[in-house]
């Protein structure tokens, strides 16, 4: 259970379920979290920024802040959903070419729990680089919700059929207590 004032960063990537990330915001707020949305640059075209800012009461972040801009509150936990093949691989390799990846790359070293709910197809999920990335992240304590009993990759060109049943609540259920 969260404590009052705990901050949850939700990092949203450019994948089919992204327009519905507000569903996760609602679930998190109902569980007592203060939510900060961070979008990858590509995700900005998928989400309703104004609606998410209204829902969270905070600006959607996608770039590093300028020196005169206020800092976001420190994260107590991070959820990446939907997480793309690209973001997962870059996170595992420590690549920080976006604000979202910079935040993610620091999280394990800061002891901030991270839960990832991928949205990838079977062709991408079967690739050796992706499998290595999943193994590396899990070895660092990142909870990657992929596989039996969690969330399965979808066949190529069938992602649209899986969007409605994307298990947003699974992410909150897998945050450590």
User: pLDDT by residue (tens digit) across 39-97?
Assistant: 999 999 999 999 999 999 999 999 998 999 888 889 999 999 999 999 999 999 999 99
Say how far apart CA 47 and CA 111 lie, in whole Å.
29
> Residue 1: is its pLDDT beyond 70?
no
Q: Please report the sign of the dihedral spanned by the C-alpha atoms of residue 30, residue 113, residue 101, residue 75.
A: positive
For residue 121, report the phi and psi dihedrals to the nearest 5 degrees.
-90, 170
Per-residue pLDDT, 72: 85
Per-residue pLDDT, 4: 57
Coil, helix or strand at residue 1:
coil
Per-residue pLDDT, 2: 52
Instruction: State the maximum Cα–Cα separation within the chain, in Å, rounded to a whole number.
Output: 47
Per-residue pLDDT, 3: 61
User: pLDDT by residue (tens digit) across 120-165?
Assistant: 999 999 999 999 999 999 999 999 999 887 889 999 999 999 899 9
Domains in the chain: ranges and CATH: 7-173 (3.40.50.1950)
Burial of 43 (0-12, 13-18, 19+ CB in 10 A): buried
């Amino acid at each position: 259970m969260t404590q009052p004032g705990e901050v949850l960063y939700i990092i949203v990537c450019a994948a089919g379920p992204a327009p519905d990330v507000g569903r996760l915001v609602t679930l998190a707020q109902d569980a007592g979290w203060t939510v900060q949305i961070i979008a990858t640059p590509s995700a900005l075209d998928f989400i309703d920024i104004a609606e998410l800012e209204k829902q969270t009461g905070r600006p959607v972040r996608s770039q590093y802040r300028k020196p005169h801009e206020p800092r976001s509150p420190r994260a107590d936990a991070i959820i990446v959903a939907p997480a793309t093949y690209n973001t997962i691989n870059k996170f595992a390799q420590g690549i920080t070419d976006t604000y979202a990846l910079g935040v993610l790359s620091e999280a394990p070293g800061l002891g901030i729990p991270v839960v990832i709910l991928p949205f990838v197809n079977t062709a991408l999920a079967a690739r050796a680089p992706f499998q290595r990335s999943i193994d590396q992240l899990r070895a660092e304590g990142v909870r990657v919700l992929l596989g039996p009993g969690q969330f399965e990759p979808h066949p190529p060109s069938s992602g649209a059929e899986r969007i409605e049943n994307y298990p947003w609540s699974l992410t909150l259920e897998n945050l450590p207590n």
